[in-house]
Amino acid sequence: MTYAPETLTALRADADQVVARYPSPRSALLPLLHLCQSVDGYISPDAIAFCADRLELTAAEVSAVATFYSQFKRQPNGQYTLGVCITSLCGLLGGDAIFAKLSEYLAVGNDQTTADGMFTLERVECNAACDYAPVLMINWEFFDNQTPASAVGLVEDLRAGKSVRPTRGPDKLGTFKEISRVLAGFEDGHANEGPAAGAPSLAGLELAAREGWSAPGPIGDGSDSSHPQEAGDPK
């Protein structure tokens, strides 16, 4: 490994905290990879060697995990990952147009990083936020109801060094390395900021409360109140 001595000392101390959370050390591999990514900006050969050594795994075992999950990058990543949802609803409502505009504006294609190292552009298969389509995620934080123009505006603000706030979640957008450290399990002081859900996400819950609906119980226990028995319906 070629980590500088001070970097390696800090990484080992943080890794000890991560591993201590798990009864089996190898269970700590995912957060440990995020931790290394917060240092290198991607899963480097040094990161593979460090995780393998710390968890008593082979480099092949670590690499198998690092190449399976899309959040782990095998080449230097930008400070900001722009994840444009292009699955059905987002794609139809403008996701494809947003991706095309960002690709043209940044002069990069899918999973490519700009020459200045600031942005990596990705086509994402569902950001799990269909009620806010089309959705753009930046470092896995939500930016809802986007347009090609608004997406470019976000990029311009980030390039200008302006503070950008996600639609939901923390008050301030973190860099790729900062968010990778959070994913490793280290708090950044931004928990419980901003709304976690908005009106579109809560509409079904509010309708159920208004109508007195509840989730059905196990089949046959007679507690399925969401589908009242109609007259003459045998049971």
Report the C-alpha gap between 109 and 121 in whole angstroms.
7
Structural domain includes residue 231: no
Structural domain includes residue 201: no
Give the tens place of pLDDT for each residue, 164-190. 999 988 999 999 999 999 999 999 888
If one counts the domains in the chain, the total is 2
- What is the distance between the terminal CA atoms of the chain, rounded to a whole angstrom? 69
pLDDT at residue 35, as a whole number:
98
Structural domain includes residue 190: no
Give the tens place of pLDDT for each residue, 211-232. 999 988 887 655 544 444 444 4
Pair 171, 139 in one domain: yes
**Any idea what DSSP says for residue 78?**
P
Please give the C-alpha separations between residue 210 and each of 93, 196, 204, in angstroms, as whole numbers.
Answer: 30, 22, 10
Pair 44, 109 in one domain: no
Give the tens place of pLDDT for each residue, 185-213. 999 888 888 777 778 888 888 999 999 99
Last residue of a domain, one of 66, 98, 114: 66
> CB neighbours (10 Å) of residue 72?
20
Pair 10, 94 in one domain: no
Give the tens place of pLDDT for each residue, 77-121. 999 999 999 998 899 999 999 999 999 999 999 999 999 999 999
Pair 92, 168 in one domain: yes
DSSP 6-20: HHHHHHHHHHHHHHT
CB 79 within 8 A of CB 118: yes
Pair 17, 57 in one domain: yes
Last residue of a domain, one of 176, 203, 218: 176
CB 158 within 8 A of CB 164: yes
Mean pLDDT (whole number) for 149-176: 94
Which amino acid is residue 20, in one-letter code?
A: A
Pair 59, 84 in one domain: no
CATH, residue 101: 3.40.30.10
**Any idea what DSSP says for residue 203?**
H
Domain region containing 13: 5-66
